[in-house]
Amino acid sequence: MAWEDILIKEESDILNALNSKEKKKLKKTLQAAEPSEYFGQDFTKLGDLIEMMQSLDLVKDDSKMKKKMKSINEQNVDMVATASKLRKQYEQLYRQVRKVVYPKSASSLRDDEK
């Protein structure tokens, strides 16, 4: 975080209108809601598990099981695609909310990536 951002944030109209307890709570909640790199990890782990299952001889030798695992894999791929779209929407909404709280420093979050 740049020194300039710290100074600009302190000039936030919304934060200045709050008492210290409310200000602290809003800052913590805003920080906790920031998009993280963990958003899609569960889908990736499930994909790894599915690949591992598909590589087992038990699955390879059973046509019903093979077909079922293929279907599960396709469903996971669909979920990953949906999650990616949701992630982008989440980031856009987060930037909008953050810009309300910190209007002058919102550009530091790559606001132009809409």
What confidence tens digit (pLDDT) does each residue in 72-103 have? 999 999 998 998 899 999 999 999 999 999 98
Percent of the chain with pLDDT over 90: 41
Give the whole-angstrom CA distance, residue 87 versus residue 79. 12
What's the pLDDT score for residue 8? Answer: 47
Residue holding tokens 């920080």? 31
Cβ(54)–Cβ(69) below 8 Å: yes
Kindly report the pTM of this predicted structure.
0.66
